[in-house]
Structure 1
């Protein structure tokens, strides 16, 4: 399955929608704000065009200029801030100032990353190192109650076009459905399919490692399916960087037939894949996703394999590898995953993710104060901490100020500021979508990344933090679409019939 190719009609439709928005702005907004929006839009067009032009010709750019995108990424937002403050210097109340600063902080969080992702995209086009001999890889698939999914996953692995030797190991981690039988039915004769008692995903992966000898390990979640050239894209990156210990795959949302899944598709582009591209530049990708990731076998042995200390063993393992001095890169190898299609199931999924991420940050808190960890200490983990601390609090503050303005007045000014930042965010989203080669219509969901969806995720994060403080270990598992009508022994709240699950699958 590939992301649908963009056609001129779609691009024209998005342009028409943006043009229509500006027409509406011209009618309902003060002329000064319209001029400000048009001016910032023109600056953004010049900025992106200039960066794209320079970076598409890296052959004549001196090595000392490699930080050029970082410089431009800082200068342009600074100019926007100056214009905004000057334009509203006489109108900004304390509440409006906090509201504007909150939105500005969220905007800068993305703005500093997207240009770096653009740089990485151009840079990668000039570096393509194919090995003289493709090494053997072992594909490991942990599975727990994945009936209806694991068969498709194995079929997609068998359909890949990796040039080197490939083996498949599937570990059924004590499933209570027909996962094992389905895996056996779809696996090739030379594959290894193992059934164990339920001990958690980390244990299933370590069991798979015990049954493999290949120098490179590729992990694939049982509910995902990989693109035909995904493994080749992953392994190629190891031969571009001698110090690479792991390579992350590129996750795409497969189901996009509702608001909740479409906005997740945009989130994966702007908030996950774009960040991986940016951090790839300095070799500090912070998460090699369980749905698709590749590892050098000797590196896994060096760090002791997968740990069960957190419920996000992929994040935990990635930080362990970085702490051991290896770099971690991103690839364009695509894996498709099913996103939760209800708000309740999305909340359960993110509660689990956030809980595990907080656990991992606490486990590796020494990195924050130890400069020996280099970029992991100075850039990577601080950025993760920022996304899980300051940004959620700002999201709550923004929502609170909106509600407060309904009773105290000042809604008009807040609305103007909100529209201003939405337009800027749309520009970022369009660029990120173009970098990923995705459907431009996803840009229509951009306002939700600032209002609505963002506050929903912030609330889930605060819920996760409270659960961590209370020491809760209850495992919350969202419903699977294909299994929704089947009894899975849950109590309706995502918990197992025993109230606490030992299953630790992210």
Structure 2
């Protein structure tokens, strides 16, 4: 068995983050051959490229930012064709999967296009990241029960047959949700394995707003697949897909529930209960502002740019 690991790298990522990422991914267990490929938008002269080459990982400098993250993954797939991977894993530079993550997610049945685990935040020290940490617990619950499982960033282990055949949509703002929608429409499935994967949350309100506005904008683009989704024979998938593109745009509706959650948060976070309570209220309001801003930009035909977040 051969597994290829693709890590797209934006121009703004610092060298230390990349070195920490490479060291972590090198320690992942896998019974077969493992190849790790970092895909840069920059050139071979990039100092970060040289620093990674000493850590038993491959580097692809593609000299373009075409398609952003989706383009980097597509170019990585093309570069790995000669390797002929049986499995492909995708991670971000801040992804910190458990040591046996690849093993737990490598059993892909014929109609499973991706397998991943629950997500957790490892930098929940700021006001907003504490609220996002609680949000992830809700997301983990939804990943377990929803018929439309969409793993952020397509972070997990994927079947290369479907990846090479369909590739990622380089025109989509949220290429992960776009690919997930297309795969579900084909009758394929995403599975949730036992285990944990840790990643970073935005630590400032500004970064959180920018991230979620981009996610909401990408969600609006998914309505282009409405007819395709409607033709699906799986009612549970259609309902889950519709709920994910409607209810998430009106988080303010759930604000009364948050206001009533203080007793539970005091028990759950003890000394930090009041802080998390205040953070969750602000989180909900910022989320609603991001949704409205995304809708306005979409209707005006304005582009939404990816803004690099502050790394911890």
TM-score, normalised on structure 2?
0.86
Query: Are 1:392 and 2:251 matched, yes or no?
Result: yes
Hey, what's the Cα distance between the residues in 2 that align with 1:368 and 1:209?
27
Structure with higher helix content: 1
- How far the C-alpha of 1:350 sits from its partner, in A, is 1.3
- Matched with 1:383 is 243
- 1:169 is paired with a residue whose SS is strand
- 1:372 is paired with a residue whose SS is coil
Q: Is the 8 A contact 2:217 2:294 kept in 1?
A: yes
- How far the C-alpha of 1:193 sits from its partner, in A, is 1.1
- Matched with 1:152 is 20
RMSD of equivalent CA atoms: 2.9
Hey, what's the Cα distance between the residues in 1 that align with 2:198 and 2:262?
29
Structure with higher strand content: 2
- Matched with 1:345 is 207
- How far the C-alpha of 1:221 sits from its partner, in A, is 0.8
How big is each residue's C-alpha offset from its partner over 1:370-421, in whole Å with a ceiling of 9 and x where there is no partner? 35354322x22122023234x33636xx69xxxxxxxxxxxxxxxxx976x4
- Matched with 2:113 is 245
Matches within 5 A, 1:90-489: 135-145=1-11, 146-147=13-14, 148-174=16-42, 178-186=47-55, 188=56, 191-196=57-62, 197-199=64-66, 200-212=68-80, 213-236=84-107, 238=108, 241-270=109-138, 272-279=139-146, 282=147, 284-285=148-149, 287-290=150-153, 292-302=155-165, 304-360=166-222, 362-367=223-228, 369-377=230-238, 379-389=239-249, 391-392=250-251, 394=253, 421-422=260-261, 447=277, 451-481=281-311
TM-score, normalised on structure 1?
0.55
Structure 1 or 2, whichever has the larger Rg, is 1
Q: Is the 8 A contact 2:6 2:38 kept in 1?
A: yes
For structure 2, the residue ranges without an aligned partner over 5 or more in a row are: none
Q: Is the 8 A contact 2:262 2:273 kept in 1?
A: no
- How far the C-alpha of 1:422 sits from its partner, in A, is 2.1
Residues 291 and 328 (structure 1 numbering): CA distance in 2 closer, same or farther, change over 3 Å?
Answer: closer
Hey, what's the Cα distance between the residues in 1 that align with 2:299 and 2:8?
30
For structure 1, the residue ranges without an aligned partner over 5 or more in a row are: 1-134, 400-416, 431-438, 483-506
